[in-house]
């Protein structure tokens, strides 16, 4: 833990990043600092320039400020009211109150000096860190600024209007994670405001007594839940308070009750606070040594399991924008025994914005610094504009992304590996104690749990064996008595002899004391069924989906018809879906289509489809009708052969002098389906 006294005695560090074209912005910033003012801050300039350039920046900056200007050297300790400039030949870090240098010419891949410094500042200074992104091209500084904000620090970007090189601040602003967007000559005053807040290193709620604190916090949680449906009462108080404090800063208020009044009057502020609570910082192969251990100790075991057949099922919780789950998918693809369709990763997050970004699989050029050149070449391709990388389709197709709240939504089951990294640290201790048994109950025998560097299994050593304590990898133990997860309550666990069987009479009666019979029945059905449900209106617009919707719908981003199910449904389902919907609309009854052939992840399967009217209380309010579309694998279907397998079967049949009638029948069925499918687009265009 950082020494509090040392923290207070040290000056605040303000990291300022810009490109070569940011000289005018630097000038405006420093010209606005009054002469002789005691700011209590040290200003660290990190220009994004090539190492071979001559270092003329110190001379230029001295023209605009009366503050002492220094070129950073190894081990230098920053002082208040001074300006420090990174040397062109080095990349700088900040650790334990001192500057550290690394030879920039030896840095692998593209250089991102601003990101590197901001990241080290976030780790070292936490909520005392301050980051400013000024004008320039590229994305250097964006990821680092996100890390500063995640640590509880202050993030500011230059106002891009009227700037020749606006891409750098625009990239930062688009993350939605900057506290302020200001002209350069307004930034210093704002930094002083943040620094001089009373109790800066203390939550604003602690100004009041403990009783008042609880009242205010509960009211804030109630407002968020009413507006978003999400309950934050199980999160750690200090994590929530830091985010609230940041929103209070933006309104220039210090009293928590005053901020509560703003929340009560402005629904938009509730949404902004909610977005702030969802901030997640991640990158590829975060904590690379842990991923190396995962590859050696876990992926190798899953390889052996795969060699005996069956699909490997993985759940990545709180996946944020996808970097970590894509990292895992790369490791699996590098294992030779895994082929297309041999594993499935379910990646979930509470933040729909993060999930949408993860689905796109498009990342800035700075990711080159997060992995080996070999992996970058194998798993990414450069976008035509040359400004981003896109994940390869072979990786993207193995991952199902969906929005999920671990507090209230049912978990996945029958898993071989769970990634829950840096999520537990945000929950209070009581909830953490209930999550660990949940993980045990939904893992297959011998399944693995991969936690974050600051997380552990707590008092549940009877449930998991330690595989690697440093990397926080655990393996499920087999017990004579396991726990049943009660989805109706917030992670209540009940004793039973077998989690896959109906509880005995004594425990069954205990369950019924907490659940109605209907709720209990629904709970058991949700555990057993694997159905995808999609709620639509008459036009086919997707209102909500549940389950593994990406198996049957193409949910990748598009320019048009983003929400129309007829433009999203997989080939083989389009025409039957259109006809079933029309039938359900005209008859107000359920319409079924059985044994529809669909290709999913390279495998051809038979699917049952149904459309049923969904009577809801919103119909009268919105004056429209709703319909529930469900997809599930046909119960009496057999695997359908793809073209390569058909060819192999025909060859075998000729050699063995067998009848080819079955192959001919298969091909005739496929031809009929394609003839029926050809007019789908015409039907859809008439409908929408």
- pLDDT at position 443: 92
Cα 349 to Cα 584: distance, rounded to the nearest angstrom: 34
- 489-498 long-range contacts (CB < 8 A, ≥24 apart) are 489/514, 490/234, 490/407, 490/408, 490/434, 491/407, 491/431, 491/434, 491/435, 491/438, 492/434, 493/434, 493/437, 493/438, 493/441
Read off the pLDDT band of 439 (50, 70, 90): very high
Mean pLDDT of 386-404: 87
Cα 24 to Cα 168: distance, rounded to the nearest angstrom: 15
Residues 238-255: tens digit of each pLDDT: 767 777 777 776 677 777
- pLDDT at position 581: 92
pLDDT tops 60 at residue 196: yes
- pLDDT at position 527: 47
Q: Compare 676 and 342 and report the one with higher pLDDT.
A: 342
DSSP assignment of 220-239 equals HHHHHHHHHS---TTB-HHH
Cα 536 to Cα 545: distance, rounded to the nearest angstrom: 9
pLDDT tops 60 at residue 336: yes
**Which residue, chain included where needed, has tokens 């600092």?**
33
What pTM was computed for the model? 0.58
Q: Compare 493 and 120 and report the one with higher pLDDT.
A: 120
Question: Domain 4-195 carries which CATH code?
Answer: 3.40.50.180
Tokens of 83: 């300006």
Q: Compare 195 and 578 and report the one with higher pLDDT.
A: 578
pLDDT tops 70 at residue 560: no
Query: Which of 101, 33, 96, 98 has its CA nearest to residue 68?
Result: 33
- pLDDT at position 677: 37
Strand residue runs (E) in 558-672: 591-600, 603-614, 626-633
Cα 299 to Cα 312: distance, rounded to the nearest angstrom: 10
Please give the C-alpha separations between residue 440 and each of 42, 326, 433, 434, 460, in angstroms, as whole numbers: 49, 24, 12, 10, 10
- pLDDT at position 378: 92
Q: Compare 563 and 199 and report the one with higher pLDDT.
A: 563
Mean pLDDT of 286-296: 89
Eight-class DSSP state of 69? E
Cα 335 to Cα 333: distance, rounded to the nearest angstrom: 5
- Domain extents in the chain: 4-195, 212-277, 288-479, 480-517, 532-687
- Decide if 4-195 and 532-687 have a common fold: no
Q: Compare 528 and 460 and report the one with higher pLDDT.
A: 460
Share of the chain above pLDDT 90, in %: 19
Cα 16 to Cα 22: distance, rounded to the nearest angstrom: 11
Cα 428 to Cα 385: distance, rounded to the nearest angstrom: 45
**Report for 107-111, 420-424, 660-664: range of highest mean pLDDT:** 420-424
| Burial (Cβ within 10 Å: 0-12, 13-18, ≥19) of residue 545 | buried
Q: At what angle do helices 574-587 and 680-687 cross, to 10 degrees?
A: 40
In three-state secondary structure terms, 484 is strand
pLDDT tops 70 at residue 208: no
Mean pLDDT of 432-448: 90
Q: Compare 249 and 295 and report the one with higher pLDDT.
A: 295
Residues 107-143: tens digit of each pLDDT: 554 567 888 899 889 888 888 899 999 988 777 888 8
Read off the pLDDT band of 364 (50, 70, 90): confident
- pLDDT at position 70: 93
**Which residue, chain included where needed, has tokens 């050696």?**
296
pLDDT tops 60 at residue 290: yes
**CATH class of this structure's domain 288-479:** alpha beta
Lowest mean pLDDT among 30-34, 46-50, 471-475: 46-50
Q: Compare 121 and 102 and report the one with higher pLDDT.
A: 121
Contact 424, 451 (CB under 8 A): yes
- pLDDT at position 636: 56
pLDDT tops 80 at residue 511: no
Residues 224-240: tens digit of each pLDDT: 888 888 888 888 777 67
Mean pLDDT of 71-95: 89
CB-based burial, 164-191: b 16+ in 10 Å, e otherwise: ebbbbbbbbbebebbbbebebebbbebb
- pLDDT at position 602: 59
Mean pLDDT of 576-598: 89
C-alpha angle with apex 7: 6 to 11, nearest 5 degrees? 105
**Report for 527-541, 551-565, 636-650: range of highest mean pLDDT:** 527-541
Query: Which of 520, 66, 142, 627 has its CA nearest to residue 365?
Result: 142
Query: Which alpha helices (DSSP H) does 405-551 contain, by range?
Result: 429-442, 505-514, 517-528
**CATH class of this structure's domain 532-687:** alpha beta
């Amino acid at each position: 833990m950082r020494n509090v006294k040392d923290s207070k005695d040290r000056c605040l560090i303000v990291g300022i990043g810009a490109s070569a074209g940011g000289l005018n912005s630097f000038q405006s910033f420093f010209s606005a600092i009054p002469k002789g003012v005691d700011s209590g801050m040290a200003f660290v300039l990190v220009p994004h320039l090539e190492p071979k350039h001559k270092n003329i920046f110190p001379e230029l900056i001295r023209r605009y400020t009366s503050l002492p200007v220094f070129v950073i050297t190894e081990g230098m300790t920053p002082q208040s009211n001074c300006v420090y400039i990174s040397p062109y030949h080095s990349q700088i870090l900040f650790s334990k109150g001192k500057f550290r240098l690394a030879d920039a010419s030896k840095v692998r891949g593209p250089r991102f000096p601003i990101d590197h410094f901001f990241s080290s500042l976030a780790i070292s200074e936490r909520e005392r860190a301050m980051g400013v992104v000024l004008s320039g091209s590229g994305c250097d500084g964006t990821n680092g600024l996100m890390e500063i904000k995640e640590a509880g620090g202050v993030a500011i970007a230059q106002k891009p209007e009227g700037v020749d090189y606006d891409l750098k601040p625009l990239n930062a602003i688009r993350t939605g994670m900057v506290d302020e967007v200001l002209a350069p000559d307004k930034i210093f005053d704002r930094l002083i405001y943040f620094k001089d807040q009373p109790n800066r290193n203390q939550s604003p709620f602690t100004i009041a007594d403990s009783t008042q604190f609880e009242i205010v916090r509960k009211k804030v949680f109630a407002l968020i839940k009413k507006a978003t449906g999400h309950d934050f009462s199980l999160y750690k108080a200090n994590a929530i308070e830091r985010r609230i404090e940041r929103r209070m800063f933006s309104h220039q208020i210090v009293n928590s009750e005053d901020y509560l009044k703003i929340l009560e009057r402005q629904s938009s502020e509730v949404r902004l606070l909610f977005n702030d609570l969802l901030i997640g910082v991640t990158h590829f192969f975060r904590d690379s040594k842990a991923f190396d251990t995962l590859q050696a100790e876990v992926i190798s075991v899953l390889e052996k399991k795969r060699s005996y057949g069956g699909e490997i099922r993985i759940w990545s919780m709180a996946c944020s924008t996808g970097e970590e789950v894509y990292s895992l998918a790369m490791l699996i693809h590098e294992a030779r025994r895994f082929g297309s369709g041999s594993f499935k990763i379910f990646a979930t997050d509470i933040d729909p914005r993060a999930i949408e970004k993860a689905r796109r699989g498009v990342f800035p050029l700075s990711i080159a610094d997060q992995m080996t050149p070999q992996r970058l070449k194998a798993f990414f391709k450069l976008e035509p504009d040359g400004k981003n990388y896109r994940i390869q389709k072979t990786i993207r197709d193995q991952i199902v992304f969906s929005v999920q709240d671990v507090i209230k939504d049912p978990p996945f089951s029958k898993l071989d590996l769970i990634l829950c990294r840096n999520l537990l640290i945000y929950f209070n201790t009581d909830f953490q104690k209930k999550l660990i048994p949940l993980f045990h109950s939904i893992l297959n025998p011998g399944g693995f749990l991969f936690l974050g560097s600051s997380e552990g299994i707590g008092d549940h050593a009877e449930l998991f064996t330690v595989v690697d304590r440093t990397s926080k990898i655990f393996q499920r133990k087999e017990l004579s008595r396991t726990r049943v997860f009660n989805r109706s309550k917030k992670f209540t666990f009940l004793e039973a002899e077998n989690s896959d069987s109906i509880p005995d009479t004594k425990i069954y009666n205990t369950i019924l004391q907490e659940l109605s019979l209907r709720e209990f029945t629904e709970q058991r059905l949700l555990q057993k069924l694997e159905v995808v449900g999609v709620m639509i209106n008459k036009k086919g617009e997707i209102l909500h989906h549940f389950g593994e919707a990406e198996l049957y719908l193409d949910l990748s981003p598009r320019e048009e018809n983003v929400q129309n199910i007829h433009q999203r449904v997989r080939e083989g389902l389009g025409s039957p879906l259109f006809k079933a919907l029309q039938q359900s609309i005209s008859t107000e009854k359920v319409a079924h289509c059985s044994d529809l052939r669909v290709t999913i992840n390279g495998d051809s399967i038979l699917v049952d489809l149904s459309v049923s009217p969904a009577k809801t209380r919103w119909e009268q309010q919105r004056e429209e009708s709703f319909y529930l579309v469900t997809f599930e694998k046909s119960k009496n279907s057999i695997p359908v052969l793809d073209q390569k397998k058909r060819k192999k079967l025909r060859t075998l049949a000729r050699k063995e002098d067998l009848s080819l009638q079955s192959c001919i029948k298969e091909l005739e069925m496929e031809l009929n389906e394609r003839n029926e499918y050809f007019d789908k687009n015409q039907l859809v265009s008439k409908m929408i």
